[in-house]
């Protein structure tokens, strides 16, 4: 999923579901290392122009969050892997997240369960999926 190259000053962009309590808490709690610089959080339910790039790549944001870092677009477990590598080890949440998702194989096994949990939670809260 490689796209155009960018400069180091470009923000890390995290595209998540703003109506999902898990997704919102994740982006609120997760601390990214100083080397990242700026972090842009984009609600997948909004109108941010970056969402067009995700649509053009035919990525389903109901199946996973997306991350744009250094010109590349990552989705799902791969996106969490990138965040884990860039993340801080400050605090229990960050250490656990880094430990789990810095291991690609483990992340790919866990991620479908996270997606299922998100879907169930949205249904219980009476909220629609992004693409509904």
Number of domains in the chain: 1
- 15, 80 Cβ separation under 8 angstroms: no
Q: What is the mean pLDDT of residues 8-37?
A: 81
Residue 5 domain-assigned (yes or no): no
Task: Report whether pLDDT(8) > 70.
Answer: no
Residue 112 domain-assigned (yes or no): yes
Residue 130 domain-assigned (yes or no): no
**Reported confidence tier of residue 34, pLDDT bands at 50, 70, 90:** low
Predicted TM-score (pTM) of this structure: 0.85
Cα–Cα dist 48/96, whole Å: 31
Task: Report whether pLDDT(1) > 70.
Answer: no
């Amino acid at each position: 999923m490689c796209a155009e190259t960018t400069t180091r000053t470009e923000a890390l962009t995290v595209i998540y579901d703003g109506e999902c309590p898990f997704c919102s808490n994740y982006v609120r709690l997760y601390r990214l290392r100083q080397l990242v610089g700026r972090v842009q959080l984009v609600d997948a339910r909004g109108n941010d122009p970056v969402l067009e790039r995700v649509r053009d790549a035919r990525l389903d944001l109901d199946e996973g969050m997306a991350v744009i870092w250094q010109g590349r677009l990552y989705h799902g477990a791969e996106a969490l892997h990138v965040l884990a590598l860039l993340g801080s080890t400050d605090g229990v949440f960050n250490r656990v997240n880094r430990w789990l998702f810095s291991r690609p194989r483990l992340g790919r096994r866990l991620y479908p369960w996270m997606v299922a949990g998100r879907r169930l939670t949205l249904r219980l809260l009476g909220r629609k999926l992004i693409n509904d």
